[in-house]
C-alpha cells in the first residue's frame, strides 16, 4: 500500500538528520495521499539510520493504523489535524531544530529581516498561543494542531509554510513531503540569521514591503522567474 509514498517519507525522515534538524529520534515527517485520505508517517522511537520504507506506518484520518507493524509517531494526531485544516498541503515535518525552537520557547514569531525569509515566507513566521491546561491534559496532540490552525485563520499556509508552537518547536509543511523538508531547512536558517540580526542591531529592522514583494513573487504566483520551469 502506497509503496512510493513510503519510500519518499522514509527518505524525508532520514534527511532531517542530514540537514541537522533533529537529534536522537526527535522529529518526524509525514505525507498524505489525498485520493485515499491516508497518511504515511514515521514510526515512533525508531532511529533514522536504521529506518526502512516498510517501517513507515499508514494511518487514516482518525489515526487508526491501516497498515504497518509499528506504532506511528506520537505526534500523528497533530499531523492529521493539519492535513484536515490545510487542504492544499501534502507533507509535514516536525522538529525541535535549535534556533527555531529558541524563538518558540521565547514565544516570539520570527520577524522578516531579509530576502532569504521573503523568498519562502510572505510575512513573519507566526508563533502560536500557549496551550491551556485542559488542552494539554485532554487531547494534547489534536489541540496542538488546533492552535496552529487558529494562528492561520487569516493566513495562507502555502505562503507561510511553517509555524512555531509556543514552548515546543516547529511544524513545517509544503505541497509535497520534499517541500516540507525544504520549508523546515529554510525556517531554521532564517531563525538563526534573525537571531544574529537582533544581536547586531537591537530590535532589528524589517525588510521594506517592496523588497518582500519582489522576492516572494519571484518564486510564487503567476510571474515567477526563479528556476527552470
Spatial distance between the Cα atoms of 22 and 94, rounded to a whole number of angstroms: 9
Nearer to Zn ion, 25 or 115 (CB): 25
Using the minimum distance from each CB to Zn ion, give the nearer residue, 90 or 169: 169
Residue ranges in 129-188 that form contacts with Zn ion under rule CB under 5 A: 169
Spatial separation of the C-alpha atoms in residues 117 and 133, rounded to whole Å:
33
End-to-end CA distance of the chain: 31
Question: Is 226 tagged catalytic?
Answer: yes
CB of 52 to Zn ion, least distance (A): 23
- Name the minimum Å distance from CB 204 to Zn ion: 27
Strand order in the sheet with 57-59: 65-67, 57-59, 38-41, 28-33, 91-95, 169-174, 162-165
Candidate list 119, 140, 195, 223, residue with the active-site label? 119
- Which residue, 145 or 169, is less far from Zn ion as judged by CB? 169
Give the nearest residue (CB) to Zn ion: 169
* Shortest distance, position 154 Cβ to Zn ion, whole Å: 26
Residue 154: all three cell numbers together? 487569516
- Which of 55-71 are b and which e, b meaning 16 or more Cβ less than 10 Å from the residue's Cβ? bbbbbeeebeeeebeee
Q: How many residues bind Zn ion, per CB under 5 A? A: 1
- What residues are labeled active site? 119, 226
Where along the sequence are the contacts to Zn ion (CB under 5 A)?
Answer: 169
Amino acid at each position: 500500500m502506497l509503496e512510493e509514498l513510503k519510500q519518499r517519507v522514509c527518505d524525508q525522515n532520514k534527511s532531517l538528520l542530514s540537514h541537522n534538524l533533529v537529534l536522537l529520534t526527535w522529529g518526524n515527517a509525514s505525507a498524505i495521499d489525498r485520493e485515499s485520505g491516508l497518511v504515511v508517517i514515521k514510526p515512533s522511537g525508531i532511529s533514522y539510520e536504521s529506518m526502512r520504507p516498510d517501517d513507515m506506518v499508514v494511518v487514516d484520518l482518525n489515526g487508526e493504523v491501516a497498515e504497518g507493524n509499528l506504532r506511528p509517531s506520537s505526534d500523528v494526531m497533530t499531523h492529521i489535524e493539519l492535513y484536515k485544516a490545510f487542504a492544499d498541503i501534502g507533507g509535514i515535518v516536525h522538529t525541535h531544530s535549535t534556533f527555531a525552537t529558541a524563538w518558540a520557547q521565547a514565544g516570539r514569531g520570527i520577524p522578516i529581516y531579509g530576502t532569504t525569509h521573503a523568498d519562502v515566507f510572505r510575512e513573519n513566521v507566526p508563533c502560536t498561543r500557549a496551550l491551556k491546561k485542559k488542552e494539554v491534559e485532554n487531547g494534547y496532540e489534536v489541540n496542538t494542531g488546533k492552535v496552529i490552525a487558529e494562528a492561520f485563520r487569516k493566513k495562507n499556509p502555502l505562503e507561510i509554510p511553517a509555524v512555531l508552537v509556543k514552548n515546543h518547536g516547529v511544524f513545517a509543511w509544503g505541497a509535497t513531503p520534499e517541500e516540507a523538508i525544504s520549508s523546515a531547512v529554510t525556517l531554521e536558517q532564517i531563525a538563526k540569521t534573525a537571531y544574529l540580526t537582533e544581536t547586531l542591531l537591537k530590535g532589528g529592522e524589517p525588510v521594506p514591503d517592496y523588497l518582500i514583494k519582489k522576492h516572494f513573487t519571484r518564486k510564487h504566483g503567476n510571474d515567477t522567474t526563479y528556476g527552470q520551469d
